[in-house]
Amino acid sequence: MTNAPKYLSARAWLRCCVLALAVILVVPAAALCAGDDLKLSLCKQVLSRMLCKKVSEFGYVGKLDEGVYVISVFYASKNSELLCAVTADGQVIVQDRTWRAMRRVVPYEVDSEGRCLVAHYTSPDCPGAKGPIKACPAKTALDAKEQVKETFWNRPIPSILEEEYKAMSGRDQQNATNAAPPAEDGGK
């Protein structure tokens, strides 16, 4: 404990070290907790980028081992099966199951929120697909509510005020209509 700064006690220094270690270990733990759906989605998206095909063209055949999936696709005038492994150390490994001629390793990381798996891969065969490959878990009802709140507050203030004005004007007109006395028949 002689390396501790003078303004921190030994106990405070130990707490800081434990906290820093916990933060460092969170990212790999999030990747380990990623479920099969998330890993399979990442595999299909990486394959989609590699082979320049739609994600919907890939079919799930089975699971060989933890994080190792068999995925089928019609490619090169025949049905092909590909192996895709998502490792805990941040790699997506893709290999042709039949001929083993193709083998690619694509690094991935967990995003800053610890929810999504993000890979960066570009293919010269598929120039239209750019940007990161992102596999996120399905949104829950709570996520949808948060998205609505975020969308509301990210709009320009004049549009928020205009929307509120229209809502208030509509209520005022409705209240005026309900408060007006019924029209009397004057000629009977």
From CA 125, how far away is CA 140, in angstroms rounded?
36
pLDDT of amino acid 181? 60
Residues of the chain predicted below pLDDT 70: 1-34, 99-100, 143, 171-188
Give per-residue burial for 148-186: e unless 16+ CB within 10 Å, then b: eeeeeeeeeeeeeeeeeeeeeeeeeeeeeeeeeeeeeee
pLDDT of amino acid 108? 95
pLDDT of amino acid 165? 86
The residue behind tokens 């759906």 is 37
pLDDT of amino acid 125? 75
pLDDT of amino acid 160? 77
pLDDT of amino acid 60? 92
For residue 84, give both structure tokens: 């895709």
pLDDT of amino acid 17? 39
pLDDT of amino acid 167? 86
